Structure 1
């Protein structure tokens, strides 16, 4: 009979006080993974025993796992093929583990010397952590209006849960965030959801041996519209030929729908862009109005308006036309009307210039109320010149010119030239008379018409017979006026006229005199510096003979 294998004998020894509780096993519980192996280790290293027994208690009964003695090691039927013993240190290895292996493990050691000792430790066979997933109470949430409950579920034993947004833990603050943990699940309640709660959100489930993380969960949070803006916003004058559009933007999820309004009246929805082509097609191209957009979010049921922008569509002025009198204009007799117009579009302002200088109303100059024409009455010779009309509006400008010719004169003729010459001298007489068009000249000698028809009367070599009165007549073929001026010329014998020195000769003489005078002054100054000053003594005086 094997006494070591007899349970009644061991129990009897313990009852009578032969067994003593000792720190032969570490404190528990000891956790191990289902399907894995576990080694229950003794404390103290190498053992010297007569017999050693490992038993298992599942809470209802005690089962022998292994018994070791001098005759060998015997594994109990329930653990055959799953349990092994290290006889050197008493370590018990069990595996693969089953769920029913959870329970209390007891060891009894009868040493070669000393009292029998026992120990006990709890083993917990844990199910692996798996199937960690998140579900939401709502598929879609509205910012500030919705409360969302996220549920994290998992499989495993002795699970603990935690929540993260990205890598940042979500902490239960009792207000916006509330966490309630169960054995196999955890609920995260998000009150007054914000767009920042969209995620990604993670849940982790863990026990002492394992940790698993859920797939990222992205919560759909709808918000907006907000920050609704129209661009460009500044008041605008737009050329009807421009490639122009208004754009509307908004912060919104989902993307907002846009409606356009003119002076508070809806003019249609066509997306975030309103083109000038649409404005023209609606008949508003030539009218000023205040334009705005409204952004709508179908999910949040919110509508927000932009600020309004004033738009005036103006036709540009491609060119200007100026017209003036076609008749011949004569100073003192004629009146001139000059008008200006745009070939297309309309001008907001009209400016008149003469010879590039601004024109202002005066006694003879009159402008129409809209500056579209000017009137000069009567015309004078100074009205000759180039008249420019400049048309402008907010998007363009154009100008055109008209050159006006005012005929006048001739005014009083003037003759210049020699009054007396010596025989054989050259004579040049010039006649001038301001006139438009230029005057036609003729000359008379002693009231007899000559063949000279130019402004200059030239005599190469004067003769005595050339003495007399020369009359210049200036004639304007347009005005029909004639003016005349007479000039008397006297031809004398040679040497009769004291022609004097020429200007060049006189200048040369003056320069020579100045140079000589300067040299004399310089010489005097030099001599005074060289002669020593002498104060005579009394003995230096002598009598002259």
Structure 2
């Protein structure tokens, strides 16, 4: 222990004769220490003469006083923790604790005036045991908020938050609380996924930790792609439709044709050996199970054509077609028909008061018919893949005729219904038709009738009577008169077959 005279002198020098203190014994900068570590107060430019007394104090409390006749005086709490260099006066302080923080003063008494120096020591506990927590991990874009909390052991901690390389500052939509240890984002977006970095530091060290958020969003920006891409496709082609969207979690897809949902699901729809009945507007629907949102793609038109085959042109009614009547021509074929064109005798057929086209050009109706309507009708069918023609040779018969071509005359037998078609008149033969009776009068005067038997005509009563090679020059009228046919001066003879309808024989 120091003797009372020495302590009295030291105290007098410290507190009364302050002007006698020397300056600059210690560095002016503050010193930093870490808990459990050591620090050394180094004397700068110590006195060149031997020391009589060296004393260290902190916050008015003795750390160590050395010199004089007694042993070193070590303050409470410093035993075993300090080492004094008696030559330079420097002090080592070991196993630092937080309470070692303070202002340290050293006084050295040597020959001449005492010298003094001061230094500030700050002791810190290091940053450690960092954690980041989020109050909400089930986030939906525009609908959710999140608070991130950063915690750490250590003293005098400061907090910073970064998203990538950008530092957060308090602003609209961003809040910093509890000394910046808590970050709150209001109404998160997909760009707030992170990673978010919390950086904690003090003068001793720093540490950091990150967290990444999962934020559900979408679906949006749906894209439908068709491979191969073309304007139209032939039947039997293979197509692949693929659908994509921006969505988290990935969207679920379902396909639709002409607005009607199909059973097909998934991002890819494969159409193999596609047929014409599969043509239409294809689209895909995207659904996010987390955001509960739906969105549909722009539709893609797919046109499938079948090659035209088996083209035919038919008419109604069935022949014979009679002047003054009507006829409908129908043009049809297998396959996809995009266009029908009509021609007659090689010239385009145009609509008129008598010629009516259906809306799809499939049929042409003509009424009333003229003899000039006879001719070859042609229908041309086409699509972008193929084309075919179908034709029909239409014959319009003279009114009252049952055969094609021009007619000289026609015979309609009364109750017998017998019909005789005469091409050219003959000479020397008279045929007379009466109710229930038909006679052939030859030039020799013999007569054959349907009421008698004739081995030549091979019939009995009421049987079929065949008059072969009958030269008919006149018809007998009901009133007894007759109608002369042809020119009697013509010597050539054309033959016509006349058949009598089969009916029951008449009483004799």
Partner of 2:198: 203
- Counterpart-to-counterpart distance in 1, 2:378 and 2:373: 19
Matching of residue 242 in structure 1 with residue 240 in structure 2: no
- 2:132 is matched with which residue? 134
In the alignment, the residues of structure 1 paired with residue 77 and residue 287 of structure 2 have an alpha-carbon distance, to the nearest angstrom, of 73
Of residues 285-294 and 219-228 in structure 1, the stretch that sits farther from structure 2 once superposed is 285-294
Aligned equivalents of 1:144 and 1:310: distance in 2? Answer: 35
- Larger displacement relative to structure 2 (11-20 or 188-197): 11-20
* Secondary structure of 1:10 counterpart: helix
Contact 2:281 2:301 in 1 (8 A): yes
Q: TM-score if structure 1 supplies the norm length?
A: 0.55
Partner of 2:61: 62
Q: Which residue of 1 aligns with 2:143?
A: 145
Closer/same/farther in 2, CA of residues 388 and 52 from structure 1, 3 Å limit = farther
- In structure 2, do the counterparts of structure 1 residues 18 and 230 end up closer, same or farther at CA, with 3 Å as the change threshold? closer
Query: Does residue 4 of structure 2 align to residue 10 of structure 1?
Result: no
Higher helix share: 1
Q: 2:173 aligns with which of 167, 171, 176?
A: 176
The secondary structure found in structure 2 opposite 1:178 is: strand
How many residues align? The count is: 368
* Partners of 1:4 and 1:352 in 2: CA distance: 140
- Aligned in 2, Cα 1:236/1:176: closer, same or farther, shift over 3 Å? same
Alpha-carbon distance, 1:95 to partner: 2.1
Question: Are 1:393 and 2:383 matched, yes or no?
Answer: yes
Within 5 A, what are the aligned runs for 1:218-233? 218-232=212-226
- 1:230–1:82 Cα change, 3 Å: same
Distance in 2 between residues matched to 1:86 and 1:5, nearest whole Å: 24
Structure 1 unaligned segments of length 5 or more: list them.
Answer: 325-337, 405-545
For normalisation by structure 2, the TM-score amounts to 0.58
**Does the CA-based 8 Å contact 1:56-1:106 persist in structure 2?**
yes
Counterpart of 2:298 (choices 277, 294, 307) is 307
1:295 aligned partner = 286
Give, in whole Å, the separation in 2 of the partners of 1:74 and 1:278. Answer: 104
What SS does the aligned partner of 1:276 have?
A: strand
- Counterpart residue number, 2:38: 37
Q: Per the alignment, do residues 220 and 391 of structure 1 end up closer, same or farther by CA in structure 2, a change over 3 Å counting?
A: same
Superposition map of 1:69-84 within 5 A = 78-84=77-83
Q: Secondary structure of 1:286's match? A: helix
CA distance in 1, matches of 2:198, 2:5: 51
RMSD: 4.8
2:14 aligned counterpart, secondary structure: helix
* Cα contact 1:68–1:74 (8 A) shared by 2: no
Structure 2 unaligned regions, length at least 5: 315-328, 365-371, 394-508
| Aligned residue among 237, 255, 260 for 2:255 | 260
Answer whether contact 1:4 1:51 (CA < 8 A) is retained. no
Distance change (3 Å), C-alpha of 1:232 and 1:103? same
Structure-2 separation of matches of 1:46 and 1:388: 131
Residue in structure 1 matched with residue 485 of structure 2 by the alignment: none
Aligned-partner Cα distance in 1 for 2:5–2:266: 90
* CA distance 1:16–1:78, change in 2 (3 Å): same
